Amino acid sequence: MSMNLIFLGPPGAGKGTQAKKTVEQCSVPQLSTGDMLRAARKDGTALGKKAAGYMDSGKLVPDDLVVGIVKERIVRDDCSNGFILDGFPRTLGQAASLDRMLAEIDQKIDHVVDLVVDDEELVGRLTARRSCSACGNIYHLQFNPPPSPDTCECGKGLVQREDDNETTVRSRLEVYHSQTAPLQDHYEKQGLRRKIDGGGRGPDEVFSSIKEILG
Ligand code: AP5
Ligand code: MG
C-alpha cells in the first residue's frame, strides 16, 4: 500500500528530522524542496542561481521553479510506493499544482503531518542547528549534539546553513505565517491535517505521535 505524506510546519519545526525517521519506518523517499534547491546551488545550475537570492533573504522561491522540480521528482520509480513531501507545498498555489500533478498520476495525499511549535523555540533550534554536508544528518548543539561541534557521526564535517542566522530565521518565520500557515486551514477542510505537538518534547516523542497516525 502506498503512503503519500506532506510534512507541513514552520522553519525548524522538525520536518527534516521527522522525515528521516519516517523514511526508515515506511521505506518511502524524502522529497525535501529545500535540500533539492541547496543541491542545485551547490552544483551551480540555472535553477540554483535563480533560487539563491530568495533563499538567502528567507523568502520563498517562486512557485513555478519549485513546482517544476517536484513534478520531475515525484514521477521517479522510487516514489511508486509513496513519498514524503518535506517543505512542499508552501503556498496555496503550490497546493493547487500538487493536486493537479497527483491527479495526472492517479495518486492522492493520505496525511498532512502538521508540526506545531512556538516561534521562540524555533529561533533557538535553528540558530544552533548543524547538518552534515555528506550524509544529511541533522544535529542541534544542545538538544541533539554531534560527537564534536564540527564533526558528524559519519566522520565528515558539519556545516551551519547560511539562512540559520537570527535575522533570516525571523524573516522565514514571517513568510511562514503569511504564506504557508493558510495551508493548515486548506488541509483541515479536506480532512487531511494531522496536528502534532512538535515543541517542548524530544524528536523520539514527536515521532511516537507520527507513528500513531501512520498506523
Ligand atoms: P527548507 O530547507 O525547507 O527550510 P525550512 O522550511 O525553513 O525548514 P528547516 O529545514 O529549517 O527546518 P525543519 O522543519 O526541517 O527542521 P529540522 O528537522 O532541521 O527551505 C529553505 C528555503 O528554501 C526556504 O526559505 C525557501 O527559500 C526555499 N524553499 C524550500 N521549499 C520551498 C517551497 N516549497 N517553495 C518556495 N521556496 C522553498 O530541525 C531544526 C533543528 O531543531 C535541528 O537542529 C534539530 O536537531 C532540532 N530539533 C528537531 N526536532 C526537535 C525536537 N523535538 N526538540 C528539540 N530540537 C529539535
Ligand atoms: Mg528541513
Pocket of ligand 1 (CB under 6 A): 9, 11-17, 33-34, 37, 54-55, 58-61, 66, 87-88, 90, 94, 125-126, 129, 138-140, 143-144, 172, 202-203, 206
| pLDDT for residue 72 | 97
Within-domain flag for 106: yes
The cell 544552533 sits on which residue?
Answer: 128
Count: domains in the chain: 1
Please indicate, yes or no, if residue 143 is contained in any of the structural domains: no
Q: What is the pLDDT of residue 66?
A: 98
User: Which residues does the annotation mark as catalytic?
Assistant: 15, 90, 129, 161, 172
The ligand 1 atom nearest the CA atom of 59: 27
Of 3, 4, 83, which Cα lies nearest the Cα of 36? 83
Distance (angstroms) between ligand 1 centre and the Cα of 16 equals: 6
Residue 95 maps to a domain: yes
50-83 pLDDT per residue, tens: 999 999 999 999 999 999 999 999 999 999 999 9
- pTM > 0.75: yes or no: yes
What is the reported pLDDT for 188? 98
CA-nearest of 1, 5, 12 to 124 is 12
What per-residue confidence (pLDDT) applies to 200? Answer: 94
Residue 208 is assigned to a structural domain of this protein: yes
Supply φ then ψ for residue 107, to 5 degrees. Answer: -125, 165
Cα 110 from Cα 2, distance rounded (Å): 9
In order along its 215 residues, the chain shows pLDDT tens digits of 689 999 999 999 999 999 999 999 999 999 999 999 999 999 999 999 999 999 999 999 999 999 999 999 999 999 999 999 999 999 999 999 999 999 999 999 999 999 999 999 999 999 999 999 899 999 999 999 999 999 999 999 999 999 999 999 999 999 999 999 999 999 999 999 999 999 999 999 999 999 999 98
Closest ligand to the CA of 7 = 1
> In a mutational test of the pocket of ligand 1, which residue from 18, 57, 60 has the highest number of ligand atoms less than 8 Å from its CB?
60
- Domain containing 12 equals 3-28+81-117+168-214
Contact yes or no for 69/32 (Cβ under 8 A) = no
Whether the ω angle into residue 11 lies within 30 degrees of 0, i.e. cis, is no
Instruction: Return the pLDDT at 77.
Output: 96
Rounded Cα distance between 111 and 86, Å, is 13
Which ligand is nearest the CA of 161, by number?
A: 1
Nearest CA to ligand 1 atom 30: 34
Q: What's at 39, amino acid-wise?
A: A
In angstroms, what CA-CA distances link 89 with 23, 84, 86, 194? 19, 11, 8, 16
CATH value at residue 8: 3.40.50.300
CB of 2 closer than 8 Å to CB of 106 = no
Nearest to 30 by CA among 142, 183, 138: 138
103: in domain: yes
158 domain-assigned: no
Q: Is 124 a domain residue? A: no
Question: Residues lining ligand 2 (ion), CB within 5 A?
Answer: 15-16
Strands 30-32 and 82-86: parallel
Residue at 70 is within a domain: no
Specify the pLDDT at position 1.
63
